[in-house]
Structure 1
């Protein structure tokens, strides 16, 4: 049901059904106005009957979800339409058609071009236009190619324009569905956040305060409560990472890294990056935080800050640990410790970015990753 409500292609399908019915009426009117010039009127009536029956069948199909989602109906429409074009031979000899007599299907033949354009985009529209144009050219003959050129141009333009519009609307529909899903997830998260805040978080905060006040063995319990409080708050504030196709929200990937010793600060708006780039950047941040826990000291705290600039994205990882010197970092690389050179510098360099590190004994360390 939700997909139907956000299917932006529905108006195009409905317009196609109306177009099919109206153009069949035009074909009937054309036969009526040329009645005296038709060699075999019975064949013309039979041809119109077949066209009418197929118009009814295809219109019902295009009005249903199965007909819109399954391109087999559009291809069947193309085959039947070409057959109806050749059915003009029931009413007029081929020599008369090549001599200037009308192909009785008239503009009704554009129906499958539009159907393929809506269902398969630009390529489908061009395929349908090319097939109808070749069929028309075979009926008119090569010698009359200049006379059908305007019809061919109109078919190609219709296939291109409608195909492009359908592809654009399909992408817009996918984005709209993603936005609706994100909005629903956000609303549910807010509802759960209120419940958690009124219950679990207050209890954890109380346990942390009481455990800290009591001290002793209760201090460990207080620390665990503090960690779980941060984890819950992070879960409540985390937003969906997937945003637009293969592009993801970097902030949504970094927010879960927050702990009692790690603060993650991100912009209010999404920071969209290609999925592969975001994954490598997050891996480099994790390695930097791992280095903090290993080498910065047991009481060190870290801050991860995301900034979106006009020409790129900068992620800063800063800690207040014991720090080091650039010479020691170089010596660590020479000794085979590849955490900095491979996991951080290597990843960012492969992305075409730059890495800057500032550190000094007693002043902590700050990494700046720019991509």
Structure 2
């Protein structure tokens, strides 16, 4: 028995999250370096005023920054905890660290320098929001942190000219868009893989039913008709069940895909009589649902004609070809062929099987039905269906 294993990564944005943590650890190193420089700095130059009013507390805040960065980096990279609450906590910690600037840094210094922690590290929170909630949330977080920092520095009048705002806004929007595109692609890939797996399973079931139950029912129908009496009634009932089972398999073979297409090969195999031989490509052949329905109806009409006119011993042979821009289905029998002038006479008698059920349907699909027949070659229909 053929089994199809479907395994799709549940989180297509995981590489983004892991790459962002590399940036996080680099920003931590920068924040520590900026802290060392700030502790030793004088503002304004030569004034003798230290940058920090509470240097020890500033180091405790840097320690909090380092601890949180390590914990959140591991959680994000390896999905150790749900991300939404982690991102919310990260936003709160980032806001508190920025607000702590007015407590631990002297006004004479932070009016002329960036707020705590460094803008480089603040970007991590923007990245997390963008990856989790998309470009709009990411852009809003970037602008929000920029406004908060400028407000702490009392530099709101520089909002238009300050470089922090466009940088954080660009990071949030760009990463958010990238994450959304990757997530959408992963969803479509997952749907395609599931559809392929379902197709293979339906094909397997159709083969097993066709090789088993359908052949037995077809045999009972034929033998019952030959024996007559009660056996004929049993044969008729077997024929009805055969037809119902074929219809059920045909309906189950219709598999909506991303482009609302249907797998043709399974639909054809479901309606073929046990005596017909079928050959087709190994891979599924997809056409629009409407095209598949019409093409299957054409094949049923051709096979019905074979059953009625080609003789009891005639066999049907089907060949399905996928040529890329079109699908070609050849239906041939080994009967005596159609006598010359018979199609014209049938049309005059009002019989529309060939003109309407076969050629008419193919014309509506934008394709064509080519007929070749003769006493030595039987009857062969070549059906061309364009993909457009």
For the superposition of Structure 1 and Structure 2, which TM-score range results when normalised by the shorter chain?
0.5 to 0.7
- Structure 1 residues 4 and 243 mapped into 2: Cα distance closer, same or farther (>3 Å)? closer
More helix as a share of residues: 1
SS at match of 1:269: coil
Residue 143 in structure 1 maps to residue 184 in structure 2:
no
Residue equivalent to 1:35:
39
Question: Structure 2 vs 1, CA of residues 342 and 361 (structure 1 numbering), >3 Å: closer, same or farther?
Answer: closer
CA shift at 1:67, angstroms?
1.8
Alignment partner of 2:79 out of 64, 87, 96: 64
CA 1:120–1:307 in structure 2 vs 1: closer, same or farther (change >3 Å)?
farther
- Structure 1 pair 341–40 and aligned structure 2 pair: CA distance change class (3 A): farther
- TM-score normalised per structure 2: 0.60
Separation (CA, whole Å) in 2 of partners of 1:98 and 1:58:
31
Point out where structure 2 has 5 or more consecutive residues left out of the alignment: 1-5, 41-50
List structure 1 segments (4+ residues) > 6 angstroms apart after TM superposition. Answer: 2-6, 183-190, 192-197, 217-225, 242-245, 340-343
Aligned-residue offset at 1:110: 1.9
What is the 5 A alignment of 1:248-259? 249-259=263-273
1:356 aligns with 2:372: no
Structure with higher Rg: it is 2
Q: 1:260 aligns with which of 262, 266, 274?
A: 274
8 Å contact kept, 1:251–1:271? yes
Q: How many residues in Structure 1 have an aligned counterpart in Structure 2? A: 347
1:34 deviates by: 0.8
Task: Provide TM-score, normalisation by structure 1.
Answer: 0.62
Change (3 A) 1:19 1:177: farther
Q: Does the C-alpha gap of structure 1 residues 47 and 296 become closer, same or farther in structure 2, counting only changes over 3 Å? A: same
1:116-161 superposed Cα distances (whole Å, 9 cap, x missing partner): 4433555665454444445445554342644425x73376257525
**Match for residue 329 of structure 2 among 306, 309, 316:** 316
Alignment match, 2:46: none
In structure 2, C-alpha distance between the alignment counterparts of 1:341 and 1:251, rounded to whole Å: 21
Aligned to 1:286: 296
Deviation, structure 1 residue 326: 11
Distance 1:74 1:344, change over 3 A: farther
Deviation per CA, 1:178-197, whole angstroms, max 9, x where unpaired?
Answer: 6599679969998x999999
One of 320, 334, 347 as aligned partner of 1:328: 347
